[in-house]
């Protein structure tokens, strides 16, 4: 198998999207990869990420590849959990405080920051509409984040999400209150829950 045949195989295996680090870890030298990019007319989707012309780019997956610590949150997480009927635009992610989100913001992504010790709380994975796995916050963490950011959100989507959450059979109120305590929104969440439950 030639290097180009190997690259053809990898391009197909990774759904029309290749990362430079995948290529180097497969033992293919960068100069050969760059020749392949030119010959196959691959487009640069982001730093170190190339896609074939006929590939539909999974924007959520691309965001994840560009910034591995970015966790889909707020309105974007509501979409994943079926707590809103609106497709998220722009996408919202949460990163650790200290990370420079300027590149993500330039691309129109809404970036929230949080203390590093709270960044991991409630992380789970979900499949994008294109079938890629990306990190998101679970339902309870998302509700807490919505409450924390309620002044920056549309009141209708905020209240709609809370109502839908309280009517769900798979809600976990114990986990919600545990997160609420960590994220310092326990009193407000308790008030909302008393009204809605």
pLDDT value, residue 29? 93
Strand pairing report for 43-46 and 110-114: unpaired
Please state the domain extents for the chain: 3-57, 60-196
pLDDT confidence bin for 103, thresholds 50/70/90: confident
Nearest-CA neighbor of 161 among 94, 73, 91, 90? 73
Of the candidate CATH numbers 1.10.150, 1.10.1740, 1.10.10, 2.30.29, the domain formed by 3-57 belongs to: 1.10.10
**pLDDT tens per residue across span 113-131:** 999 999 999 999 999 988 8
pLDDT value, residue 130? 87
- Backbone phi and psi for residue 89, each to the nearest 5 degrees, phi listed first: -155, 115
* Helix ranges, the chain (H): 3-13, 20-25, 30-40, 59-66, 74-80, 102-106, 116-119, 139-148, 155-167, 173-182, 186-196
**pLDDT tens per residue across span 51-82:** 999 888 899 999 999 898 999 999 999 999 99
**Which residue matches tokens 């829950």?**
193
CA 62, CA 69: separation in Å to the nearest integer? 13
Number of Cβ atoms within 10 Å of the Cβ of 163: 13
pLDDT confidence bin for 154, thresholds 50/70/90: confident
pLDDT value, residue 143? 96
pLDDT value, residue 77? 96
Number of residues in the chain: 197
Nearest 5 degrees, angle CA 170-CA 175-CA 180? 125
């Amino acid at each position: 198998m030639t290097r180009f045949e190997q690259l053809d195989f990898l391009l197909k295996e990774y759904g029309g999207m290749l990362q430079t680090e995948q290529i180097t870890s497969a033992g293919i030298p960068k100069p050969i990869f760059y020749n392949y990019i030119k010959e196959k007319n691959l487009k640069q989707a982001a730093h170190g990420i190339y896609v074939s012309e006929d590939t539909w780019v999974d924007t959520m997956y691309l965001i994840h590849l560009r910034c591995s610590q970015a966790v889909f949150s707020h309105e974007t997480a509501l979409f994943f959990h079926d707590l809103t009927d609106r497709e998220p635009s722009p996408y919202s992610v949460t990163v650790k405080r200290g990370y420079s989100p300027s590149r993500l913001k330039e691309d129109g992504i809404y970036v929230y920051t949080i203390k590093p010790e709270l960044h991991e709380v409630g992380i789970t994975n979900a499949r994008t509409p294109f079938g890629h796995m990306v990190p998101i916050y679970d339902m309870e963490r998302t509700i807490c984040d919505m409450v924390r950011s309620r002044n920056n959100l549309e009141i209708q989507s905020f209240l709609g999400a809370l109502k839908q959450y309280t009517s769900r059979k798979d809600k976990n109120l114990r986990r919600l209150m545990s997160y609420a305590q960590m994220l310092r929104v326990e009193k407000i969440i308790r008030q909302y829950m008393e009204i809605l439950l």
